Amino acid sequence: MGQVQSRLTISPTPTKLAWMMHLRMLTTMHGLCEVRQCSKRWKNLCPQTKNLQKCQMSSAGSSEMLQVTVDDKSGIATMTMCRPPVNSLNLEFLTQINIALEKLENSKDCSGLIITSKIPKIFCAGLDIMEMYQPNVDRLQEFWRTLQEMYIRLYGSQLITAAAINGASPAGGCLMAMSCDYRVMAPGYKIGLNETQLGIVAPFWFQDLIINTMGFRQSEMALQLGTLFTSEEALNLGMVDKIVPQEQVMETAIQEIHKWKKIPGFARQITKSALRKPSIDKLHSKREEDIANFRDFITKDSIQKTLGMYIESLKKKAK
Ligand SMILES: CCCCC/C=C\C/C=C\C/C=C/C(=O)SCCNC(=O)CCNC(=O)[C@H](O)C(C)(C)COP(=O)(O)OP(=O)(O)OC[C@H]1O[C@@H](n2cnc3c(N)ncnc32)[C@H](O)[C@@H]1OP(=O)(O)O
pLDDT in tens, 210-245: 999 999 999 999 999 999 999 999 999 999 999 999
319 CA: nearest ligand 1 atom: 62
Query: In terms of pLDDT, which residue wins out, 278 or 1?
Result: 278
Instruction: Output the pLDDT for position 64.
Output: 85
Query: Rounded mean pLDDT of the chain?
Result: 85
Question: For the stretch 213-240, what's the b/e string if a residue is b when 16 or more beta carbons lie within 10 angstroms of its beta carbon?
Answer: bbeeebbeebbeebbbbbbebbbebebb
Could you tell me the distance, in angstroms and rounded to a whole number, from the CA of residue 129 to the centre of ligand 1? Answer: 6
Per-residue pLDDT tens for 240-275?
Answer: 999 999 999 999 999 999 999 999 999 999 999 999
pLDDT of 46? 33
- Give pLDDT, residue 319: 82
Whose alpha carbon is nearest atom 24 of ligand 1? 125
Q: Look at ligand 1, atom 61, and give the residue with the nearest C-alpha.
A: 315
Distance between CA atoms of residues 314 and 318, nearest Å: 6
Q: Give me ligand 1 centre to Cα 265, in Å.
A: 37
Q: Give the residue-averaged pLDDT of 71-95.
A: 97
pLDDT at 11 over 90: no
Looking at 62-189, which runs of residues are DSSP E strands?
A: 66-71, 76-81, 112-117, 121-122, 160-165, 167-170, 182-185
Model confidence pLDDT, tens digit, residues 23-67:
545 444 443 332 222 332 233 223 323 233 433 433 333 458 999
Summarize the confidence of residues 159-181 as an average pLDDT.
98
Helix 204-214 and helix 137-155, axial crossing angle in degrees, nearest 10:
20
Using a 10 angstrom Cβ sphere, with 0-12 exposed, 13-18 middle and 19 or more buried, the burial of residue 260 is: middle
pLDDT score recorded for residue 199:
94
Q: Is 294 in the pocket of ligand 1 (CB under 6 A)?
A: yes
Q: Which domains does the chain have, with CATH numbers?
A: 51-318 (3.90.226.10)
pTM of the model: 0.86
**Alpha carbon of 86 to ligand 1 centroid (Å):** 8
Determine the atom of ligand 1 nearest the C-alpha atom of 171: 15
Ligand 1 pocket check for 253: Cβ under 6 Å: no
How far is ligand 1, taken at its centre, from the CA of residue 202, in Å? 14
CA of 126 to the centre of ligand 1 (A): 6
Residue 63's pLDDT is 57
State whether the beta carbon of 198 lies less than 6 angstroms from ligand 1: yes
318 C-beta closer than 6 A to ligand 1: yes
Mean pLDDT confidence for 167-171: 98
- The pLDDT of residue 41 is 29
Catalytic residues: 127, 172, 194-195
The response to whether residue 50 sits with its C-beta less than 6 Å from ligand 1 reads no
The reported pLDDT for the residue numbered 274 is 98
Rounded CA gap, 60 and 139, in Å? 20
Question: What band does 317 get if pLDDT is binned at 50, 70 and 90?
Answer: confident
Residue with the smallest CA separation from ligand 1 atom 11 is 202
Q: Does any ligand 1 atom lie closer than 6 A to the CB of residue 112?
A: no
Complex-level ipTM: 0.98
Q: Which atom of ligand 1 is nearest to the CA of 290?
A: 4
Given a cut of 60, whether residue 70 has pLDDT beyond it is yes
Residue 206 has pLDDT above 60, yes or no: yes
Percent of the chain residues past pLDDT 90, beyond the cut:
79
Q: How far is CA 14 from CA 7, 9, 11, 171, 287, in A?
A: 17, 15, 9, 34, 20
| For residue 6, pLDDT beyond 60 | no
Question: How would residue 183 be classed by pLDDT, with cut points 50, 70 and 90?
Answer: very high
Confidence band, pLDDT 50/70/90 cuts, at residue 171 = very high
pLDDT digits (tens, 9 = 90+) for 85-116: 999 999 999 999 999 999 999 999 999 999 99
- pLDDT over threshold 60, residue 5: no
pLDDT-derived band at 22 (thresholds 50, 70, 90) equals low
